[in-house]
Structure 1
Amino acid sequence: MEKMSTKDKILYLLKRQSRLSVGELTKCLHITDMAVRKHLSILEKEKLIYSVEVKQPIGRPIQKYILTKNAELLFPKSYEGLAVEFLKDIEAMYGEESIEQLFQNREKRLTNEYKVRLENKSPIEKIKELKTIQNEKGYMADVAKIGTNKYELIEYNCPILAVASEYKVACHCETSLFQKVLQTEDVKRTSCKTEGNDHCRFLIGF
């Protein structure tokens, strides 16, 4: 993140955290309150962010900043709108089973691709390599260890969100993919962007 402009850093942080205040951005960016407000003002004029009032248990409400739909378009999306149209055409011509078959074929291809990079690695090495692969594919992934042999994988962006929202089989195949390449059945999706959550989250155990 060091090589990003301050503007890009703000957009990146908002993508990861969903909503942040001036104070929170100041701490993350290590710049002055005034500098943060200046950048936020520019981003608001560019219609990339907007603010909402958030009530606090004590004291006055605070302003939190959120990405607009225009800003969301700046993150990888893999031409998903066109993909949805093609999938709908295929479904109309060949039926629902054809869509499931397409995603199963995709899962098989990805499984073979991922396995090559994850083989002969320890569980923690596999998790780290999976994070790297997902980042290469535009998922803005991160991993945290949350217990003994237990990890949480977070995907802050979904490059195929429109497709997955229309065809939930995409999400099921991703979970199945992780189970196969990590060689553990203990993979559970706990949060999903297609269900209105901020990010996709997976609990993974070995």
Structure 2
Amino acid sequence: MGLPRTRQEIVRLLRCHGDMTVRELAAALGLTPMSIRLHLNRLQREGLVTARLERQPVGRPHHRYRLTAAADALFPTNHCALADSLLTALRQQGGPDQVARLCQEALTALAAPYLVQTDRPLTERVQALVRCLQHLGFLLEVQETPADLRLRALNCPFTVVAEHHPELCQAEQALVTQALGAEIDGLTVERPEHRLHGDPCCTYRIRGPAPVPAPA
């Protein structure tokens, strides 16, 4: 999980029981309530735990603690295998065109909240594209030269799926091109480096009649 052992145990108990009080956690782990509160405070600051006040018929109210949705990331998932299996089934039933269409629609939907209209200044479109790719899980390195702007993706959140379904990579490049409004400004978007072709990373090279501005 990447958490200290005691906090791992707290998270495990909350996952198993739904919600618990400080006293219940302390009894389960053989620790003092003060120690449990310190760990819970840290988990709350990290956005992994939330609390609600529960009033009792008799006595003082107490807090019950539960995991937030963000804590789901602490547990193993199999999203990539599921996505791979779904696209494989779609390919078998509908062919590669169906896979390409679904990849394009899915990426467009994921990106929509972060992009701006293509009638906005190019600087804003570039900034929005970088934010969008970062939200999708890319670790980006931006390189600006007099000749072009390069976006180097040092990782790829889709590698496991894209290895079997290259349509996902094609949809990604189409998204970059559309998000920039390449046709409006006469931009050329190329991918001279591609992880699936053996390169260390994917790089988008963006060129235009005028220098392409790097995001602030």
Moved more, 123-132 or 82-91: 123-132
Unaligned runs of 5+ in 1: 1-73
Find 2:162's aligned residue among 161, 164, 175: 164
Secondary structure of the residue aligned to 1:89 is helix
- In structure 1, C-alpha distance between the alignment counterparts of 2:198 and 2:123, rounded to whole Å: 30
- Contact kept, 8 Å, 1:114 with 1:181, in 2: the verdict is no
Partner Cα separation in structure 1 for residue 131 and residue 95 of structure 2: 36
Measure how far apart 1:114 and its partner are. Answer: 4.6
Q: 1:114 to 1:181 in 2, by over 3 A?
A: farther
Whole-Å separation in 2 of the counterparts to 1:181 and 1:78: 30
* 2:103 match: 103
Comparing 171-180 and 151-160, the one that deviates more: 171-180
Query: Would the aligned equivalents of 1:141 and 1:156 in 2 still touch at CA under 8 Å?
Result: yes
SS at the partner of 1:139? coil
Q: How does the TM-score come out when normalised to structure 1?
A: 0.54
Alignment-derived partner of residue 139 in structure 2: 140
Letter in 2 for 1:168: P
In 2, are the aligned partners of 1:189 and 1:200 still within 8 Å (CA)?
Answer: yes
Cα deviation, 1:35-73, whole Å, max 9, x if unaligned, reads xxxxxxxxxxxxxxxxxxxxxxxxxxxxxxxxxxxxxxx
| Bigger Cα Rg | 2
Same amino acid, percent of matched pairs: 22
Match of 1:203 among 189, 202, 205: 205
Q: 1:52-91 residue pairs with structure 2 within 5 A?
A: 79-91=79-91
Aligned to 1:178: 176
What is the rounded CA distance, in whole Å, between the counterparts of 2:132 and 2:79 in structure 1?
Answer: 19
Instruction: Give 3-state SS (helix, strand or coil) of 1:158's partner.
Output: coil
Structure 1 counterpart of 2:151: 153
Supply the distance in 1 between the matched residues of 2:204 and 2:179 (Cα, whole angstroms): 14
Letter in 1 for 2:174: S
Give, in whole Å, the separation in 1 of the partners of 2:120 and 2:97.
Answer: 36
Offset at residue 86 of structure 1 (A): 1.5
Encode CA deviations 1:98-145: one digit per residue, 9 max, x unaligned: 212212322443564454x35554333322332122112111012111
Distance change >3 Å, CA 124–CA 94, structure 1 → 2: same
Residue deviations 1:147-195, cap 9 Å, x none? 15x2000111111101111111111111111111101140001111111
Q: Is the 8 A contact 2:139 2:153 kept in 1?
A: yes
CA contact (8 A) 2:118 2:181 kept: no
- Secondary structure of 2:156's aligned partner: coil
- Unaligned 5+ segments in structure 2 are 1-73, 209-216
The letter for the 1-side match of 2:140 is A
Q: 1:126 aligned to 2:128?
A: no
Q: Tell me the distance in 1 between the aligned counterparts of 2:143 and 2:78.
A: 26
Residue number in structure 2 paired with 1:13: none
CA deviation after TM superposition for structure 1 residue 81, in Å: 2.1
Q: Given the two structures, how large is their TM-score scaled by the length of structure 2?
A: 0.52
